[in-house]
Amino acid sequence: HYTFFPGTPRWPVYRRDLTYAFLPGNELTDEVKAVFASAFQKWSAVTPLTFTETDSYSTSDLTIGFYSGDHGDGEPFDGVLGTLAHAFSPPSGRFHLDADENWIVSGDVTRSALPSAVDLETVAVHEIGHLLGLGHSSVEDAIMYPTVTSRTRKVELGDDDIQGIQSLY
Ligand code: TQI
Ligand code: ZN
Ligand code: ZN
């Protein structure tokens, strides 16, 4: 079953058209940006929320950045595997990814020669769930179920994710 963060934080009714920006310092390809757009689309398809990319990271609702190791928020990244990414509950909007992972942007991660290969969209869909206010789920099929993520691809929302997000929005 789905869970929420303590106090059930969520984006208020007047902030349902959310913007997101990539933090400077990461030169991301259009291919990488398309993976995030696809991950956001999974959630907008089942909620009244919309997500639009903007260049203005200082005014966007959500910010996305890749960092190595200590990056100033008290939750340092740890190199290959371990923590892959983290996202903070509403209204923070901060979504950080570990730059040291072997991120797979396109192609079949389950057939990757690298044991540490991590599918970017799989992690993005999960972290966006956190950005919107979902905690972890006990349902194995759910995107919000905490499980092994290397060489795994799971990008379709489960019924439990949909019920959870629709009870928030
Ligand atoms: N990052 C953890 C996660 O996103 C960070 C975390 C731990 C967390 N406990 C939390 C975030 C409680 C919010 C609330 O779950 S991770 C998975 C999963 C990670 C883990 O890098 O370990 C995924 C990133 F679910 F598979 F375990 C993506 Cl999909
Ligand atoms: Zn961080
Ligand atoms: Zn999680």
Can you give the residue range of the structural domain that contains 117?
A: 17-168
Bridge-based pairing of strands 17-22 and 62-67 is parallel
In a domain, 45, yes or no: yes
pLDDT of residue 129: 98
- Which of the pair, 24 or 46, is modelled with greater confidence? 46
Residue 97 and residue 133 in contact, taking contact as beta carbons nearer than 8 Å: no
In a domain, 150, yes or no: yes
- The model's confidence at residue 108, banded by pLDDT at 50, 70 and 90, is very high
In a domain, 10, yes or no: no
**Residue 147 is part of a domain; what is its CATH number?**
3.40.390.10
Q: What percentage of the chain reaches a pLDDT higher than 70?
A: 100
In a domain, 131, yes or no: yes
Ligand 1 within 6 A of CB of 150: no
Which residue of 8, 66, 83, 147 sits with most ligand 1 atoms within 8 Å of its CB, as the best mutation to test the pocket? 83
Q: How high is the ipTM of this complex?
A: 0.96
In a domain, 5, yes or no: no
Q: How much distance in Å is there from the Cα of 131 to the middle of ligand 2?
A: 13
pLDDT of residue 143: 97
Task: Read off the pLDDT of residues 36-75 as tens digits, 9 standing for 90 and up.
Answer: 999 999 999 999 999 999 999 999 999 999 999 999 999 9
Q: What percentage of the chain reaches a pLDDT higher than 90?
A: 94
pTM over 0.95: yes
In a domain, 51, yes or no: yes
Task: Read off the pLDDT of residues 112-128 as tens digits, 9 standing for 90 and up.
Answer: 999 999 999 999 999 99
- Residue 157, pLDDT > 90, answer yes
Q: Look at the chain and report how many structural domains it folds into.
A: 1
- Residue 159, pLDDT > 90, answer yes
In a domain, 9, yes or no: no
Active-site annotation holds for 127: yes
In a domain, 99, yes or no: yes
Mean pLDDT of the chain: 96
